Structure 1
């Protein structure tokens, strides 16, 4: 079962102010090659680094402000973005005779929850790199105000992942959150109020992780291990697959794996007692709905918005029970009840965490293009979900790497060209700018 993370109420979450340190940047830059190798990233293909170098030169000379919007398919993305900014862009600048002032760096937004699972040291390091923590699912005014101030007046560009969370798909862009577009329009307003005339540019960055091999045996090993874990192994499924075999039997195994895992979870939520759903996607939607409703009922939340939006509201409601400002004021009995409420909140939040693992799955991603990369992405979603259910998140799956990384710098979006429309219709302008950004990110990974 998922490990119990919270045994007692905790002090309230505090804002970790960005406190950029040049020595921390230098230390992390020196460690970057080792960190990348540890993640199995062995080759980097960069398209458009010269244009990004030119934009950094403009920004450093005071002619523009840059908002870097990068795709977020993996938790490894921050390391890849560091490779792009710290190494690829300076190399491109040298090749084209551009003079860039060191460091070539960006400040960035990150989820305030990261130091909760990665440790307080992670929050300290992110702060020293200029990171700005934001609590998802609420109007985090302090974080937004800090990011807005640094974007307009700080020493570096600002980087944001507009998808908000990792989607674990290399060729699928999740719905974008509107906050990035709003931040860009705020910057236009702040520059105008200060009498400054810099351009405000959004730079879309496409990221993809691609297998360096066409050997299907690693995929089949992962399939077999998952079949073992959920009790699906058969003589035929355990037999080593011929690398030259047709893909249909492998896809049938993937479908069987999906159906078995869904059946187990449906049994856990007593969904099998009802009329069976027609197909896998309908069953998945029903499972997500049931798991979210369990958590929402506990926190007395209404089921509004997308799956991701509902997850974020549940997280905030749970955090309100777990991280409290009033602990020192409580009597002994009140503190015991607060601890009980915190454990209950953590337990109910686990239903939401389960949904997070399956939030980006669809019924056609592999069928549309049965590549090694798509099989690997979907199987890793299953692996992480199964490992979490078993309380074994640290257990390593059969290796699918090493990987090559494709980074594409798309054509920037000049936000000033949209600022007139923003003054007339703020919501509509934000929606149109977000849609344009999505189109460019999709083109960058097409």
Structure 2
């Protein structure tokens, strides 16, 4: 239930979409959950039966499920989990995802139990609905706390504290009616592994990218050396595009750390878009938060319509031009979203087919607007020990921000440990 940022909001659409869970729709979808993940290229899903049984024991409890978000397949995988435990989950989904397929996708996911949130802003209607849902007895709500699809199989983006703040508020609400009420945080670790030899598809991808970026064709070099050559060629092109200095050729070292240059490009994109939008310093502590602030600002400008009582054809034309100006800015922000978790050394430190695939998919999206690299995968779903917020409520009341951060970091840690296990 995620989306990239390239979609401009449709004028006049509703800001908040409430869930309308329909039991018959949920039952049918759960019955075919294996087929659903199969269509998405997942040949099977592995669970730990003891973990599933432990989760089933929480059937009567309030539970916030917090999965990692490496791919757009993840929501379907979590829905598959709901079928395994014979429970109905509710979902928080980005607002733009409800507009896909002319709105037909939105009609489906709200009947499965999804309600919307506008990322990058204080969406009060969504926060209120989320808080009320979490406070309800036996509720099961899925929120991806990274907030973005980050396209890396075994790393994480920092979790948003606000997700866990909502959980504490909901628990305090529940305790007004029931002093023994509690709420569990259930971390969910999602990881994918190829079921076939990916060497040939990876070589084809390297060939495509070398031809497109002008990187020297190096068939005798190692896969990793070819990958760095492509990354090097792309860095120089991006630095020219964003008017950033590149090291002189005699000073360049293919073995040097590319991360500072990549971070400089991300920052240059943010500043370029912020200047165009009229926001001198995008709000947010992290790169994803600052990016979301800009996306929301662009969507707000393109959504606002002149007063119908005074609108003229000229007003309509000005608004059309505004939307046209916004499209290149959103494409720039798409570039950041595509590279959001990338750092130099990701493949070198663990050169698995999955990590090579992660990076090559990003490079192909950057160059071709889509990825041609595919392969059958099997998914692994792990449910680490849940956190009982009732046990942490006293600490939260003594130091609210610190305890919210501690819970977020603990959920993050439990997922990361599972992702790094073989």
| TM-score (norm. length: structure 1) | 0.85
> For residues 385 and 69 of structure 1, what CA distance do their matches in structure 2 show?
29
Report the counterpart of residue 18 of structure 1 in structure 2: 19
Q: Which moved more, 1:421-430 or 1:214-223?
A: 214-223
Question: Hey, what's the Cα distance between the residues in 2 that align with 1:82 and 1:303?
Answer: 34
* 14-23 or 249-258: bigger deviation: 14-23
Aligned length: 409
1:348-379 Cα shifts (integer Å, max 9, x gaps):
22211111111110111111111111111111
Q: 1:326 to 1:385 in 2, by over 3 A?
A: same
Query: In structure 1, which of residues 199, 207, 210 is the aligned counterpart of residue 190 of structure 2?
Result: 207
Map 1:123-202; keep pairs closer than 5 Å. Answer: 123-153=106-136, 156-202=139-185
Distance change in 2, residues 1:54/1:371 (3 Å)? closer
Displacement of 1:332 in angstroms is 2.4
Q: Aligned runs of 1:33-432 on 2, under 5 Å?
A: 33-47=34-48, 49-60=49-60, 64-87=61-84, 89-90=85-86, 104-153=87-136, 156-232=139-215, 234=217, 236-237=218-219, 249-272=222-245, 279-301=257-279, 302-304=281-283, 305-324=285-304, 326=306, 328-329=308-309, 330-388=311-369, 393=370, 397-399=372-374, 401-432=375-406
Deviation, structure 1 residue 151: 1.4
Contact 1:67 1:184 in 2 (8 A): yes
- Matches of 1:183 and 1:386, distance apart in 2: 39
TM-score between the two structures when normalised by the length of structure 2: 0.90
What are structure 1's unaligned runs of at least 5 residues?
91-103, 240-247
Structure 2 unmatched runs, 5+: none
Distance 1:129 1:155, change over 3 A: farther
CA distance in 2, matches of 1:107, 1:154: 13
SS of 2:30's equivalent in the other structure is helix
Q: Tell me the SS of whatever aligns to 2:159.
A: coil
Mapped contact 1:9–1:338 kept (Cα < 8 A)? no
8 Å contact kept, 2:192–2:378: yes
- Hey, what's the Cα distance between the residues in 2 that align with 1:200 and 1:154? 9
Change (3 A) 1:4 1:76: closer
Distance 2:179 2:113 in 1: 24
Quote the offset at 1:178 in angstroms: 0.7
- 1:327 and 1:335 in contact (8 A); partners too: no
- CA drift of 1:139 comes to 0.4
Cα 1:440–1:273 shift into 2, 3 Å: closer
Q: Is the 8 A contact 1:204 1:409 kept in 2?
A: yes
- For 1:146 and 1:384, locate their aligned partners in 2 and report how far apart those are by CA, in whole Å: 35
Contact 1:85 1:105 in 2 (8 A): yes
Equivalent position SS for 1:416: helix
Deviations 1:253-278 (CA, angstroms, capped at 9, x unpaired): 00001111122222222324787887
Cα deviation for residue 221 of structure 1 reads: 1.6
Task: Note if contact 2:194-2:354 (Cα within 8 Å) is conserved in structure 1.
Answer: yes
In structure 2, how many angstroms separate the alpha carbons of the residues matched to 1:387 and 1:31?
A: 33
Q: 1:244-300: CA deviations, max 9, x gaps?
A: xxxx71111000011111222222223247878874111111111111111000112
In the alignment, what sits opposite 2:33?
32
Q: Is the 8 Å Cα contact of residues 21 and 113 (structure 2) preserved in structure 1? A: yes
Residues 358 and 381 in structure 1, CA contact (< 8 A), matched pair in contact too: yes
| Pair 9,39 (structure 1): closer, same or farther in 2 beyond 3 Å | closer
Q: 1:141 to 1:328 in 2, by over 3 A?
A: same
